[in-house]
Amino acid sequence: MRKKVIAGNWKMNKDLHQSQKLVSDIINGLGKDTKADVIVCPPFTSLYEVSSLLKGTQIKLGAQNMYYEESGAYTGEVSTDMLKSVGCEYVILGHSERRVIFNEPDELINKKIKVALAKGLKPIFCIGELLEQRENGETMQVVSRQVEKGLEGVSSEQMKNVIIAYEPVWAIGTGKTATPQQAQEVHSFIRELVAKKFSASVAENLIIQYGGSVKPENSNVLLSQKDIDGALVGGACLKADSFLGIIASA
């Protein structure tokens, strides 16, 4: 049985003060019998403070991006060691906003994934098709390419530390959610791809999250799909109540 994993991607929201408040509300509201794994991914500027507030809780910390070089003249970038030094265990990579707004290609995402894994950070590797690609019937082709290129050179052993998040780009921040059937179809396809690329047992144990306008009103039915093992939540993780509602449904 795969555990459900709920991650909150705060994106470019919450200054230090607001981050302290949000994470404290999440900690205080989280039931003791919560069965899901919970990850919060605040902006870089809040990681250290959120990390100290999370000490002694079951909530894990993730960053939203990183660069693959160890150190040096890379103005504006942050390395894996830096993220680990402030308590990060996870890092979101390949998010569609990085792909689309910041032009990150599959090759760059692949380099980051390999370095994250080699350095002991667990990637939450995001994939998903644009609206136009879905309308042209290219969803499975796009997702295949992203999995193939993004995970090139990753070993079966390392796959134990990878989470895949399927996020149809047309559903991110739009209020449009994929139907549970649409999501399940792609999730099961991704699991098959991973089985072919790695092994049946890697695929069976892989956490595949769904992301795109997940909220407490739709999380229950999405998370009850066979191949949906959790959620990567954007907008609805910025308020403790709605994030806790999604965690409760898991």
Residues of this chain, 138-177, that bind ligand PGA according to CB under 6 A: 167, 172-173
Beta bridge partners of 38: 6
Of all helices (H) and strands (E), which one includes residue 41? strand 37-41
Query: Exposed, middle or buried: residue 144 (CB in 10 Å: 0-12, 13-18, 19+)?
Result: middle
Q: How far is the CB of 69 from ligand PGA (least distance, A)?
A: 25
Q: How far is the CB of 147 from ligand PGA (least distance, A)?
A: 18
Q: How far is C-alpha 179 from the geometric centre of its chain's CA atoms? A: 19
Torsion angle, CA of 30/216/49/64, rounded to 10 degrees?
A: 140
- Pick 195 or 238: Cβ nearer ligand PGA: 238
Number of residues that bind ligand PGA (CB under 6 A): 13
Phi, psi dihedrals of residue 127, rounded to the nearest 5° = -140, 165
Per CB under 6 A, 212 contacts ligand PGA: yes
Query: Catalytic annotation on 95?
Result: yes
- Pick 116 or 214: Cβ nearer ligand PGA: 214
Residues of this chain, 42-71, that bind ligand PGA according to CB under 6 A: none
- Residue whose Cβ sits closest to ligand PGA: 234
Query: Catalytic annotation on 167?
Result: yes
Residues 6+ apart with CB under 8 A from 97: 11, 172
Number of residues that make up the chain: 250
Q: How far is the CB of 209 from ligand PGA (least distance, A)?
A: 9
Per CB under 6 A, 213 contacts ligand PGA: yes
Q: List interacting residues with ligand PGA (CB under 6 A).
A: 9, 167, 172-173, 211-214, 232-236
Catalytic residue numbers read 95, 167
